[in-house]
Structure 1
């Protein structure tokens, strides 16, 4: 195999190796996939004005996120069901992020539990959370993340219902029968009784249990059940950025859910500047979506981001270290 020189080449290898249903789940966006393309195209329209004859022999890429010092302003975004890509799944991602001295965010729809990820060794980890109709389930998930040593909650707010992902519809996507959403095992699901006969089993049922009445009052409620800082993930406008600050968010993640939710929303790099201006420095603003190169990271930082989150389904720790090196 030829030497891999950039992140996009990993994507092509994944296309060749993964089953079509799995690859399409990871790679596709909602409806026409306009926003999916725009997440990348918008970066290409931002140009540099380079200054020359500046001493760059000493470069320090370390930064601090919510008080935690990390090696670079590049962190791991939550990506669901990683064991569809490799048996080690999220556990490999956790080891890789720790080795790279950066932060991993674990999806609540992971195929490894918070306890399993914690058992891989030391590391700074955040937990991505949806709010379900049964608040008891939410409380149980948060308590487990706290006990496992996770340091923050990334509250996803742009998914009152799943986006129309037509590739998944055509492929009749279902979590492979040998896998499960591990964070829901052993929970008292209460009203969330799983229909074992449904095509996607637990995965589709849990998705259907996300609370469509979710509002800012629920951000306040979440603060009453945890002392962990809460990042609001899914902000695209100045108006919502101001509300996030007003409602006690510790940070904002500018995100369009990888273009998998509502098509024809702006690319995240396009929305970033207005969100940063609205936050007025009161909380850090981060970005995910479309980041493929170190120049993308630089553009986000130049427009006011405190760091970026990148989504990768990682095969080995070595893979992520390669990605981290390329991005930096």
Structure 2
């Protein structure tokens, strides 16, 4: 039956919970039995029962997600798209305004820093995408602290050094990179741009930096690997599946495809509450009193919940030997938040750790990566006598980085490199691949200037004595406001009354 070509009318007849067919990318699938198991709830699938669901499916799923999750017999065949009734898309007034703003985006030459991309993205992105990309845990104190922590570190520049030529290239896990940064994993790229994470792959190739492919990319893993230029290096961020056989196959496939490092996410046994995302999702979907499966808990988590219920909360230290047994790739734990766990990772023989609180999206009041960095370097020297940066055990940091000076502060404290995530999302959501390339050019220019001003011809010259981090652990301290950052920061909303359109405001 898989070779059968259906008409749109035939598919449209299967529009009930008992017989639910959908069309994705011109193929017909019977998802009737899958409805109760869909992480995002049955309601969203039933909305497209008997119809073309491609537009809803594509931004939050890799192209092969449906074929991987449905048995072959449920993949019924193809459809003559000329016979398919188009799903009426109602464009709201707000969305029309956002679309009009795209035509008003300034020239890229007028974009001077990473903050600019965020300010523009907020104006032109749709609500679902903006809520997912920008949201963070609880009161969003941690996401702000990630950035503010860098302001408690001050430079001690050196003078009268020959900085005619400066070089900010380095190696990450032995891989040459032209900048001491990597594009860290961020999910659901197609929410911001039709090409999704491909924007990152192509720009990373042009600028000689490493891209970390996310487990939850909108593009398929193989699509992103296939798009890499000859000799381009990529990492893989891994969410560990409850079904370890699925994880084993994924990891070993990645190794065969040439992935150079496996970054295992260890800070997300359960999703944090991301209330901007949750509120937006709640308002976007009216209550479904006819929904026989109670999916309220899933929907309340926003876009993230719909794609992440497979993550194993039982992942533990005892699983490390298993990972070592299934791959020879360097293993890095992503999401380490204290020196004790960094020390154990070192003792377990891992290749390194990423000091990270998941971009402030998980545990509220988890300290910033750069604050944890200072204590990890101190304690590992004290306990094991090792100095950083260290080729055998590398420390990475992510979260809150907006300037090359942030990166240089982390390097001075002992980091090998720094991961940058959200700014790249905002860049391709506004300008596509050109936006990503602009960020990398901005960082290149900033590195050149700041290394000269620091008196550091190479990254090896960016040492601990070049920074004063004595206030780093003080969480109540006066620092100058970062006006650009806080102009972009959108305050969280309270619950609001439902007001009829014709109701007069209360005086």
Instruction: State whether TM-score is above 0.5.
Output: yes
RMSD over aligned CA atoms reads 2.2
Q: Is it true that 1:91 corresponds to 2:198 in the alignment?
A: yes
Match of 2:236 in 1: 127
Residue 247 of structure 1 and its aligned partner are, at CA, apart by 1.7
Does structure 1 residue 208 correspond to structure 2 residue 298?
A: no
Q: Match for residue 181 of structure 1?
A: none
**Alignment correspondent of 2:164:** 57
Asked whether 1:154 is paired with 2:263, we answer yes
**Within 5 A, what are the aligned runs for 1:76-87?**
76-87=183-194
Q: Is the 8 A contact 1:241 1:278 kept in 2?
A: no
Residue of structure 1 aligned with 2:250, choices 116, 138, 141:
141
Q: Deviations over 1:52-88 (max 9, x none)?
A: 2221111111111111111110110001010110011
- Distance in 2 (CA, whole Å) between partners of 1:143 and 1:201 is 31
Measured in 1, the distance between the counterparts of 2:419 and 2:302 equals 30
Partner of 1:238: 339
- Give 1:294's match in structure 2, choosing from 404, 408, 432: 404
Q: CA deviation at 1:118?
A: 1.3
Cα drift, residue 100 of structure 1: 0.8
Deviation at 1:151, TM superposition (A): 1.1
Q: Is the partner of 1:212 in helix, strand or coil?
A: coil
- Per-residue displacement from partner, 1:140-177 (whole Å, max 9, x unpaired)? 22123123221111100000010111112111279xxx
Alignment partner of 1:10 is 2:111: no
- For residues 263 and 216 of structure 2, what CA distance do their matches in structure 1 show? 13
Aligned residues: 308
Match of residue 215 from structure 2 = 108
Larger relative contact order (CA 8 Å, sep ≥ 6)? 1
TM-superposed deviation, 1:202: 10
- What CA distance in whole angstroms lies between the structure 2 residues aligned with 1:326 and 1:306? 20
Runs of 4+ in 1 over 4 A off after TM superposition: 198-203
Q: Which position in structure 1 is the counterpart of 2:349? A: 248
Shift in Å, 1:206: 4.7
Q: Is the 8 A contact 1:233 1:253 kept in 2?
A: yes
Q: Deviations over 1:259-279 (max 9, x none)?
A: 000001111111111122344
1:162–1:319 CA distance, 2 compared to 1 (3 A): same
What is residue 376 of structure 2 aligned with on the other side?
275
Is this contact kept in 1: 2:271–2:305, CA < 8 A?
Answer: no
Task: Say if 2:324 is the partner of 1:220.
Answer: no
Deviation at 1:205, TM superposition (A): 5.4
Q: State the secondary structure of the residue aligned to 1:105.
A: strand
1:73 is aligned to 2:143: no
1:150-189 matches, cutoff 5 A: 150-172=259-281
Deviation of 1:317 after TM superposition, in Å, equals 3.1
Please list every run of 5 or more consecutive structure 1 residues that lacks an aligned counterpart in the other structure.
175-194
1:269-315: CA deviation from partner (whole Å, max 9, x where unpaired): 11111122344345010110011001101111011101101002142
Using the size of structure 1 for normalisation, the TM-score is 0.88
Normalised to the residue count of structure 2, the TM-score between the two structures is 0.58
